[in-house]
Amino acid sequence: MQTSGFREGGTLNRITQHALPLSGALILGALAAGRVAGVPWLYAALMTAAALVAGHPIAVRALRLLARRRFTIELLVTIAALGGIAIGEWWEAAAVTFLFRLGGWLESRTLRRTRAALGELMALAPETARVLREGVRMDVVPMEVRSDDTVVVLPGERIPVDGVVLAGGAAVIQAMITGESIPAEKVAGDEVYAGTVAEDGMLEVRPTGIGADTTLARIVRRVEQAQEAKAPSQRLMERFAAWYTPVVILLAVGAFIVTRSVELALTLLVIGCPGALVLAMPVSIVAGIGRAAREGVLIKGGQHLEDAARITAIAFDKTGTLTTGRPQVVRGRESSDVLQLAAFAEAGTTHPYARSIIEAANSMAAVAAGIHDAREPAAADTRTRVGRGVIAHRDGRRIAVGSRRLMDELELDVPTELAGDVSSDARIGATTIFVADGAAVVGSLGIADAPRPGARAAIRALRTAGMERMVMLTGDSIAPAAAIGAALQLDEVHAELLPEDKLAHIRVLQDDGHVVAMVGDGINDAPALAAADVSIAMGAAGSDVALETADIALMTDDLGRLRDAVRIARATRSNIRQNVAIALGTVVLLLTGVLGGSVNMASGMLVHEASVLLVTLNAMRLMRR
């Protein structure tokens, strides 16, 4: 059910732009003719003309939708206006149609302002890009930038493409992408995003995303889709409204049968319009999602917004979520042979441990030893055992790198002196990784990852916000997981989990009555993310997968944004409740006034339209930071 045909744009909208002032002018002329000149027939003719001018598109739309068995507010207004003309209540007929059109126009303007945040985002993209092409500097429109161009960004200019900094350095304001107000220092090798501003330095950038393929464009596209996605309560309200209109018509018919008062029956039709009620939810959801986007939180739709407002338990992955995701080899670096073997196997994987092992191997000058360049993957038939480790082959020998569980599954005996490394690593919060060459476990490495800056404060803020349980679900070893869990004061730590184990823990939380959010992004998080009521990805800027798959995507790695997401979701839920109360309260007051004889058709429509505008303005409060 539509609240007003004039909110959908198109021909009716264009007609409205002229019909509304014309109808108003006819009403003024009618008042002058009747009350100043004293010409009753002219008064009636001009009022009727005003009603027809303003009411024609209303009636057309009402009949068109009625043909599809949809009972709309326009149908109620049309019946009321025609009835007013039929019984000689010309002023009421003109006032009802004029005010309905005026309310729709004001509502459309307000909603456009609510959605304007996205337009403001797109307006951030510069109109020209300065590129070096075949040694020549030239200005082109951003869509014409080539992937082999070098984009030059001067101090104070907006960056026209997504890309990687080749040279130069600058503090880049990227609040429009990440919601982070503090400029980020960008140097060679760092990623930059279209629409952000190089505040105080020059950058040369290699494009990686152009035009519609930029992070900014994807954000706008995603938010537009999210704002159109309906929440469960919104769909429920629309089903309610579909039945509500026929009930109002029957109520008006019943009132006429009992009282024989046509005016009372028509007035009941007018005040029964559920416009504010139908609008109460979508306008708040649109505003809430827009506000979240401005703060670097992408919420996929109304349903996920409502779910986020109900979260009572959060499960976190450890590596890359609660920790920096940049673990370091803290023991075993002196054993270059072991380190090199591990680097060889890990070269074909993307696990955070792989990077630390390879970096450590390179720093140990293993390359210089001429044995193997750890930066160039050379392992054949590399296979990852999710949650356990990796297996590769070299010169016909199997090289395995991973947890004690992997060694046990491969039926490899871990020497006593190496098994003792687990407890010594645990004391420093490190994970022990065993390295096997063929049938022998030849060494181990200790790897540790630090908690993410601000993680403890974020956990504390979430607890203050009412989160009842916050747990860590990780495939990592017990000792380092426990160390991180204790540092962040989590309620529970579950370690050495396989993907199906994480899913089982999510189910347990749900069985305990919690609405569960899962925060993670690894392959082994996929089942748990799918099972959670709300899946949340971090650091989504520049990640198509995170933007497309997560219910909520935090554009930065700042866990504090999680608190923002919950806060905005709850504020939106509260706003929806306020709007529903305003809508229902208005109907009750008007009904009481009509039955008490203090509200007529025109004043009823005025109050009705005022309530529509009020819920819209109330929703716009969500857009304020």
Dihedral sign for Cα 450, 452, 458, 459, please.
Answer: negative
Specify the 3-state DSSP secondary structure of 137.
Answer: strand
Cβ-proximal residues to 150 (8 Å cutoff; 6+ apart), any chain:
131, 132, 133, 166, 204, 205, 206
Is 317 known to be catalytic? yes
> What one-character DSSP code corresponds to residue 538?
S
* Residue 510 to residue 454: CA distance in whole angstroms: 28
Q: Could you tell me the end-to-end alpha-carbon distance of the chain, in angstroms, rounded to an integer? A: 32
- Integer Cα distance of 392 and 398 in angstroms: 6
User: Which residue type sits at 188?
Assistant: A
Residue 221: helix, strand or coil by DSSP?
helix
For 489, residues 6+ apart whose C-beta sits below 8 A from its C-beta are 456, 459, 460
Residue 309 burial (CB count, 10 A): 21
Please identify which of the residues 162, 307, 317, 551 carries the catalytic annotation: 317
Quote the strand ranges of 474-588, DSSP E: 492-494, 516-519, 534-537, 552-554
Owner of token pair 């126009």: 105
Q: How many CA atoms lie within 13 A of 455 on its CB side?
A: 26
Of the candidates 493, 450, 451, the one whose C-alpha atom is nearest the C-alpha of residue 473 is 493
CA angle 104, 108, 109 (to 5 degrees): 120
**Nearby residues of 323 by Cβ (< 8 Å), 6 or more positions away:** 449, 450, 451, 452, 455, 484
Q: Which residues are catalytic?
A: 317
